Structure 1
Amino acid sequence: MSSRTMKALTRLRCEIFNTSYNPLNLRTGAKYLRARLRGPSMVNYYPHVVNIAAIARENPEMELVDPRERQRLEDVEDRKRRGKGTPKKAKTKADSRRAAKKR
């Protein structure tokens, strides 16, 4: 068979079986689009971690206290007392540190 008839046969076969006709063998990414998704398997593989903060947010009547969050808040208060807290936000353009440097 000639190459012309082979191309016509391949095109007809692709139409019949509903596959893509790619005579130039260009990369289409079809291999990756057909592949099984990995996300659901990965989610099922890793164990579910209990998050105390999420439980406390969902059930405020239980008054649960997350020890890590309490320690974080104490550390923030301690830094503020020592003057190491976050700087105040500038209310006006004149209050900003950049404006003070330019003068």
Structure 2
Amino acid sequence: MATIAASRIAALNRLRCSIFQTSYNPQSIRTGAKYLRARLKGPSMINYYPPEVNMATFVKGFPDEGFVDLDEEQRLQDVIDKKKRGKGAPKKAKTPEESRRNKKRR
């Protein structure tokens, strides 16, 4: 039985890779192609868990029913209380002259 030269096998492998549009990797260097070809796990993980229903989405889904999200009401009340004490968020600048960044540069 005749043996085939290594150069002939390498040439055949190179030709096969060009025909089937695969990467030619004669030194067997790690390329990560196995992980790039793998199916993505995100969509199946999203489908595994049921959709989360909380009070906020329920209230938004039925605005005419008069449901109240107590957590949101408490958050809004806290914001109002902080503003009364002067601890609220600063006002946003409407023009470039009002911004703090311009005041620092001058």
Same fold per TM (> 0.5)?
Answer: yes
Counterpart of 1:49 in structure 2 is: 52
Query: Unpaired segments of 5 or more residues in structure 1?
Result: none
Counterpart of 1:77 in structure 2 is: 80
How far residue 19 of structure 1 moved from its aligned partner, in angstroms, is: 5.8
Matched pairs, number? 100
TM-score, normalized by length of structure 1? 0.70
TM-score, normalized by length of structure 2? 0.69
Query: Unpaired segments of 5 or more residues in structure 2?
Result: none
| Residues 1:26 and 1:81: Cα distance change in structure 2 (over 3 Å) | same
Higher mean alpha-carbon deviation, 77-86 vs 32-41, is at 32-41
Residues 1-80 of structure 1 aligned to structure 2 (within 5 Å): 1-14=4-17, 18=20, 20=22, 21-80=24-83
The percent identity for this pair of structures is 58
Higher mean alpha-carbon deviation, 33-42 vs 75-84, is at 33-42
Aligned-CA RMSD value: 2.9
